[in-house]
Every structure is written in structure tokens, then in C-alpha cells.
Amino acid sequence: MLEALVYGAIAALISGTVLPLLYRSKNTRKTSFGLSLLSSILLLGFAGALLYTGKEPVFPPIRYLPGLDFTLVADRLSAGFILLIAAVVPGVSIYSVEYVEHAKSEAGKNLQTALTNLFILAMLMVVLAGNMVIFLIFWEIMSLSSLLLVLHDYSSEENKKAGFFYFVMTNISTAFLFVGFISLFRLTGSADFGPLEYSASELALPFLSLFIGFGVKAGLVPFHKWLPYAHPAAPSSVSALMSGVMLKVAVYGFLRFLLSVFTPELWWGVLIITAGSLSALFGVIYALKENDIKRLLAYSSIENIGIIFTGIGLYVIFKVEGLESLALLSLAGACFHAFNHALFKSLLFLCAGSIVHATGTRKIEAFGGLVKTMPATTALFMIGSVSIAALPPTNGFAGELLLYQAFFQSFAVTDPLLTVFLITALSSFALTGALAAALFVKLFGITCLALPRSEKSRLAEEVQKPMLIGPAVPAALCILAGLFSKQLLSFAGWEIEFPDLLLLGLLLGLIYAALFLIIRSKETSPARISETWGCGIPTLAPHMEYSSAGFSEPLVMIFKNIYRTKIVHKAEYHDKQESLFKNGNVEIRLLRFFEEYLYIPPARAIESFSKYVSSLQNGKLDSYILYAFLAVIVLIIATGGFV
């Protein structure tokens, strides 16, 4: 019975992919997105039933190669992530119905529709994959379909660069996964996900390569650089899927291996928490400086992935220390935060897409006053911001609360040095949380409040209905998942001591209503409208307002060692003594630390190596035959046991 739901969803997604390739019309595209909506409803039923009953369905394997089966497996972990996919997809599909119509060409619209469906299908299949080969096949399909979506507007130079960057990084990820899979395969001789019993030293290589492989895809620092490039280039609905779901699929892959294949070690946990905390901190610190709305959201995704990995690392540490209940708490925190991040980040990306569509720019400094011109989008954006800033009673808070509870009880760990490590991680976690709140005050405040900062923003118009209903779905889910977090967790089988946010939300709402009614009923004189006070200036102008860069300036000053700003002077003078100033400029440049120190050197090395290799390829037939001859000789020597 349950299996049928999955097959139905797969069938719907396949037809959603094929249809738009066959017929080019608006109705086909609508049908196609309808099909993805349908699939997500089916998946919702499937994942819900599986989580509630805990009964795992059996998928009969399809043999297509001797020794390797096309197997699907769904357990509680995959059910959790299927639920995540099913929660994000409806909003995105409804939104896309309208959004995809803004693409330039008719063919482009259909291609985007088809690829979106394929992308969703691939992510679903990765989560369902029953062995490493299937996993890798759909992993590649997922990467390629998203790559094509990033490249949808391939005419612009910036997008080409972003696409290339993404392509390289995603291949690095796959390469590391390959290494990990092969080294596991060598140990066991099987491609299934099954528990391993090997010594720690043998497992170090597979663990590290899988950690890096999944880390690149999830956007952990220092492998995060593709995110801020790919997201602004991709259409917003795709950004929502990539940030909301694809990064979580990488998290799923990592968890799948961690939970069902490996027996973790203590240093793994320390490594994971360190990477997670650094990602969270760097993500939010870079986001604060950012002035491009989609890039800012991309950095904030890095931050949230960092939080999720912190939770996973906590799980490993508590597991090794034998604190089962705390381990469960942190694992629940990590998974729940992944789910929540999928919701609010897709919501924010969809809203950002609407804002960018309405104003025609991605610059935060050019927005402002949208609360007047786009009230509905702004309200949705507000829900997303409150949720991502982890404020009660939304779901963003519920996820972080679980992790905080795990942290606060972590002093049960007996090793003092580990305790110190955990305190450090806790402080960094707290700092991240508070910085995220500052970040979203900035984003929402500068984007939506006060006077419009540009003509485009002043003339912005509210978007069409589907583009409002789309984000409204995750927005509603954000609030509901927050209020019913306790119930949701116990529904998913996690019996955890957890404050009832429903009670809290009700209390807040009731007190608010009571207060409002009391004050309003006693009100004697009506409110007056009068100019903002500005030290006596006649009228307020947009350029007098606090700007995005101005808002984050104090934090930039405080964390100046991390930003590593460089001040560059350039000046020309009329005379040699440099006293008569002709012209010049001063710029404050952000040193792109990771790019300049970590990415460019190996890129240069590879470039020079490829130049060398290409010099071998001179196009002469004779030399190619020589290469073949040499290769054969080497092979004979190697296999013949001469060496």
C-alpha cells in the first residue's frame, strides 16, 4: 500500500519531466507543476505513515546488472527527509507556475519546468537509494539538473562563471564520494548500506572522504564558495529547491553513512562540530557584509548548514560518550533544524524572487519601503525572517531549542577538555544565533521598511497570486511546525522533554489580544500623522536613512580581523612632490580569504598542469600511436609482475 504512494510520486515526477519536453504550452507547464504538487502530496502521506507507524515498506529489487540491484529502501531517516522534500515542493511548484513565465524564451520556460521536475525526482531518488551505486547515479543526475538550472540564463557572463564554479565544485564533491565508496567497497565487497565492523584506522579514509564529499555539496566552510555564486544565478524557485532541499540531501547522505554504516569515533565528532561551528560563524559574518539579497541568503544557508552539522557532531560525541538520551536530542535537533531550514529558506528565496522580480535589482540598498508597495510579500518575508532568526514561537526557534538543550545538559560529559570544547562550541553557537538575528533585522528593515531607496523600489508592484500562494505554504508551515513542534516530535517518535510552544504561542496571542482590546477601548483621542523627526530638516529623504552597509558597520568593525578589509589608495598628483592632488580613489576591499588562499592556488596549479598535458596533444597521428605503444608496454610490465 505504502509502496504504491512512492511509485505514484515517481510516476508523476517522470511525467512532469517528460510532458513539457513534448508540448510547448502554458497549460503543459501548469500540468507539469500540478504533477509535482501531486507527487509531494503522495510523498507526504507516505512519509507521515512511515514515521507514525514505523513500519518499513519493502520494495522488490529490480535486477539490471548481475550483482547490483536497483533497490529502494525507506526507513525512518529517509522518511524524515522525504517529509522535508514533500514540505518544500508544494510552495515551489505553485510559485513556479507564474514565476517560470518570466523566463525569456518559450523553450526556456519548458526546459526549466522539465528540469525542475527532474531535479525533484533525482533528490527523491537519492534519499530512497538502497545502495551506493544507485545513490551515486541519482546524485549525479541531481547535480547535473541543478547545474543546467543555474545556467538557465547562460548569456550573462556572471552566470557562466557561476555555472562553471558550481560544476567544478560539484565534481569535486562527487570525486570524494567516489573515493569514499570505493574504499568502503574494498573493505566489504558490497555496495549496500550496512553496519561495518572494522578498526578505526581503516575507516578513517572512507569517513574523511565522505565528509569532504558531502561537505562540499552541503556548503561547509571552507568548501562553501560555490553557494554564493550559484544562488544569485539560479532562478529563485530553483534557489529555493537547492538551498532548501539539495543541501539537505547532502546532509541526508552524510547521516545515512554515519548512522547505518559507521561506528563513530570521538575525533569525528570534534571534527564535525569544528567544521559546523566555523561554517555557522563565517556564514553569518559574511552574510552581514553582503549587499545582494540572494547572495546574502546563500551565506545564511551556509550558516544553517553549520548549525545542522553542529547538531550531528554533538550526536557523535554523546554517542561515543554513551549518553544516549542526549545523543537522541542532538540528532533530533539536527534533523528538525534541517526540516525547518528547508521551510524558511525556501520561503525566503521565493519572497526574494518576488522582490527581485518586482524591482528588477538584487541590491538591498536599492530596496526600501516595500511594506507599502508589496504588503503581502512583505508579510510573508516577515514570517521567514522571524523564523530564521530563531524567535519563538516559530519553527526556527524549536530546532535551535533542541540543540541548546543538548548543549546545556552536555556538562554530563566527564572529560573536562571535552567540556571546554563544548563550551566553546556553545559560545560560538550563541554568537551565531544573535548575529543571525542582527542579519535579518538588517535584511528585513532595509528591504521593506522606511522610504524607498530607489525609483525601482518606489514603483514596485505586488506580484501575481500564484507567487503569493506559493510562499504562503511554507510560511504557514513555519508557524505550524513551530507551534506544534512538541506534537510533531512525538509524532515522529522522538519522546523528548521539550517545552510546549503551542502553549507559549497561545499565551502570547491571548495577552496580545487582551492588551490590544484594553488599550483600544480606553483610547480617547485618535492617532495623528506627522513627519519623522530629523533635527529640523523639512522632509526626510531616502539617502538620510541608515543603509545596509551602515547597519552592519559596527559588526564589521568588531570582527575586522575576520573580514580582513584592505584599504587601497590610488592617487595621481600634478607634481612630483605629490602635493597637488589631481584625482584618485580610495576603496575598502573585502579580502576574499578563502578564494584567494584556498581556491585560486590549486586552480592555477591545475591550469598549468593542463597546459602541459595539452602540449602533449599535438594532433600528430604518429605521436598518438607512440603514446598507445608506451601505454601497452607499461601495462605489460605492470601486470607481468616485473615491478
Partner 1 sequence: MNTSFLLFALLNPLFALLAAPLYMALIRKVKAYAQGRRGPSLFQVYYDLRKLLQKEAVYSPTSSWIMRFTPYLNLSTLLVCSLFVPLVFVPEPAGGIGNIIVFLYLLALERFFTALGGLDAGSAFGGMGSSRSMSLAAVIEPTMVVAFAALAFVLKSLNLHQMFALNAGTILPISPTLVLVSISLFIILIVETGRLPVDNPATHLELTMINEAMILEQTGTNLALLELAHALKQFLLMGILINTILPVGLSTEIDAGKIAVSAFLFLLKAGLLAIIIGLFESALAKMRLFRLPAFYVMAFFFSALTILIEVFA
Partner 2 sequence: MIDPLFLEGIIKVLFVFVLISAGLIISTRNLSSALTTYTIQSFLLAAVSFLLYLIDGKGQLLLLACLTLASKVILIPYFVSRIEEKIKIGRDLHFAYLEPTPSLLLSIGLILLSYTFLSRVFEGLPLSKLFFFGAVIGLSLTLMGMLVMFSRKKVVTKALGYLSMENGVLMFGLFVTELPFIIEVLIILDLIILVLLTTILAVGMDSSIEEYRQKFRELQIWTGVESR
One of 33, 268, 336, 498 touching partner 1 (CB under 8 A): 498
Q: Which is nearer to partner 2, 416 or 526 (CB)?
A: 416
**Site stretch for partner 1 (CB under 8 A), options 187-195, 354-362, 364-372, 588-596:** 364-372
Residues in region 464-493 near partner 1 by CB under 8 A:
486
Q: Amino acid letter at 601?
A: P
Q: Which is nearer to partner 2, 79 or 425 (CB)?
A: 425
The whole-angstrom separation of Cα 122 and Cα 75 is: 18
Residues in region 406-465 near partner 2 by CB under 8 A:
416-417, 420
Q: Which helix (H) or strand (E) holds 530?
A: none
Asked if residue 293 binds partner 1 (CB under 8 A), the reply is no
| Cell 519572497 sits on residue | 351
Count Cβ neighbours within 10 Å for each residue of 524-550 and write b for 16 or more, e otherwise. eeeeeeeeeeeeeeeeeebeebebbee
One of 66, 67, 322, 416 touching partner 1 (CB under 8 A): 416
Asked if residue 462 binds partner 1 (CB under 8 A), the reply is no
How far apart are CB 568 and partner 2 at their closest, in Å?
24
The whole-angstrom separation of Cα 411 and Cα 420 is: 9
All three cell numbers of 579, joined, read 602635493
Q: Give the single-character DSSP code of 598.
A: I
Residues in region 540-569 near partner 2 by CB under 8 A:
none
The angle subtended at Cα 240 by Cα 235 and Cα 242, nearest 5°, is 90
Chosen from partner 1, partner 2, none, partner binding at 531 (C-beta under 5 to 8 Å by type): partner 1
One of 214, 223, 551, 599 touching partner 1 (CB under 8 A): 551
The whole-angstrom separation of Cα 196 and Cα 186 is: 12
The footprint of partner 2 on this chain (CB under 8 A) covers a number of residues equal to 3
Q: Which is nearer to partner 2, 178 or 559 (CB)?
A: 559
Q: Which ranges of 219-292 does DSSP label H, i.e. alpha helix?
A: 226-233, 236-241, 247-260, 266-289
Residues in region 427-446 near partner 1 by CB under 8 A:
427-431, 433-435, 437-438, 440-442, 444-446
Q: Which of 350, 352, 330 is nearest to 477 (CA)?
A: 350
**Site stretch for partner 1 (CB under 8 A), options 231-239, 412-420, 459-467, 580-588:** 412-420
- Determine the distance from the C-alpha atom of residue 86 to the mean position of all C-alpha atoms in its chain, rounded to a whole number: 16
Asked if residue 562 binds partner 1 (CB under 8 A), the reply is no
Q: Which is nearer to partner 1, 22 or 567 (CB)?
A: 567
State the helix-helix crossing angle for 266-289 and 416-448, rounded to 10 degrees. Answer: 20
Asked if residue 588 binds partner 1 (CB under 8 A), the reply is no
Q: Which is nearer to partner 2, 416 or 641 (CB)?
A: 416
Phi, psi of 583 (to 5 degrees): -155, 170
One of 330, 545, 563, 599 touching partner 1 (CB under 8 A): 545
Count other Cβ atoms within 10 Å, centred on residue 243.
30
The whole-angstrom separation of Cα 321 and Cα 263 is: 13
Q: Decide: 170 and 147 in contact? Cβ < 8 Å.
A: yes
How far apart are CB 535 and partner 1 at their closest, in Å?
8
**Site stretch for partner 1 (CB under 8 A), options 191-199, 257-265, 549-557, 604-612:** 549-557
The whole-angstrom separation of Cα 135 and Cα 174 is: 11
Q: Which is nearer to partner 2, 63 or 560 (CB)?
A: 560
Residues in region 365-394 near partner 1 by CB under 8 A:
369, 371-372, 386, 389-392
Q: Which helix (H) or strand (E) holds 459?
A: none
One of 52, 198, 546, 609 touching partner 1 (CB under 8 A): 546
Asked if residue 404 binds partner 1 (CB under 8 A), the reply is yes
Chosen from partner 1, partner 2, none, partner binding at 612 (C-beta under 5 to 8 Å by type): none
One of 157, 197, 523, 622 touching partner 1 (CB under 8 A): 523
The whole-angstrom separation of Cα 525 and Cα 612 is: 83
Residues in region 492-511 near partner 2 by CB under 8 A:
none
Chosen from partner 1, partner 2, none, partner binding at 419 (C-beta under 5 to 8 Å by type): partner 1
Length of the chain: 643
Summarize as ranges the residues that interact with partner 2 (CB under 8 A).
Answer: 416-417, 420
